[in-house]
Each structure stands twice: as structure tokens, then as C-alpha cells.
Structure 1
């Protein structure tokens, strides 16, 4: 009788160990997913910081002044071009006026 109880005890301990291992596996998957999201957000923030630093460094000094004015002229010119296309009704669908 002692061997049956020992075998059942061993079996129960094995099942408990398997269940605990499964629980640890599920927790490890959640931890890995959390780490992935965290590192992705961190990378996006670092990319934004790098782009901001690049833009600020480009717009320093005389070359930066000229480049900033050139960029401003391009932006204003592009907006004016899209505005005139919209007024003429020849622009992209999303820019056209809704006429009833």
C-alpha cells in the first residue's frame, strides 16, 4: 500500500510541476510581449529624438538660416498650389470642395 501512495504522491508532484511550468511559460510569454512593446515605444521615441536633433542641427548657422527659409518657401508654395487646385476643382478627391 505504501508503494501506491508513494506513486500517487509522485504523480501529483509531477502534475503540479507541469502546471507550474505551464504557468511560468505563460508568464514568460506575457513578459516577452511587454518587453517587445516597451522596446518598440522606446525605439520610436529615440527615432523622434534623433530626427529632432537632426533638424535642429541643420537649422543652425548661416546654412541653416538659408535652408530654413528655403524649406518655408517650399511649404508655403506647396500649400498655395494645393489651394489653387482645390479652387479650380482639379485637385485630389480629398481636397475638392463638396458641391451640393
Structure 2
């Protein structure tokens, strides 16, 4: 199993982009607010659960069409998915 992680890390590296980090955070935040699984969101936008996981982990470079579909499912504008959000402090950060 460790080999799969290494392989996926090389094939799908974490992208160091503020826009993709905001997208990843917002897609996950909005999905969890609706109490959806990754599979449920994937079905709504006609993607695989793996594709949603890659987006939420900042390892994907989704097309504008895919991002637009996600925004439509959430009922928000496309730019809203790239809006940086204040992240709550974890207990160890306080």
C-alpha cells in the first residue's frame, strides 16, 4: 500500500497554488456542510470519487468546466470556489 501512495504522489503531486488550495478547501468544506460523501458529490458532477479526492487534496488540476459543474451543484458562482476562507484553529494551534 505504501507503494501506491508513493506512485500517486509522483503522478499527482500536491500543487503549490493558492487558487488550487482555496478550491480544495472550499470543495471539501461545502461537501461536508451538506453531509455528502465524496462519492455523492462525484455522482452529482459525473466524476469518480477518486477525482473528487484529488481535487480536495490539491492534487488535481481540474478543467474550468469541472469547476463550473461543482459550483453549479453547490449553487454558488465559480469565483466563490476560489475565495480564501479563514480556517478555524485546531486545538493544538490555540
- TM-score for the superposition, normalised by structure 1: 0.29
The structure with more radius of gyration: 1
Q: Which has the higher contact order (CA 8 A, sep 6+)?
A: 2
More helix by share: 1
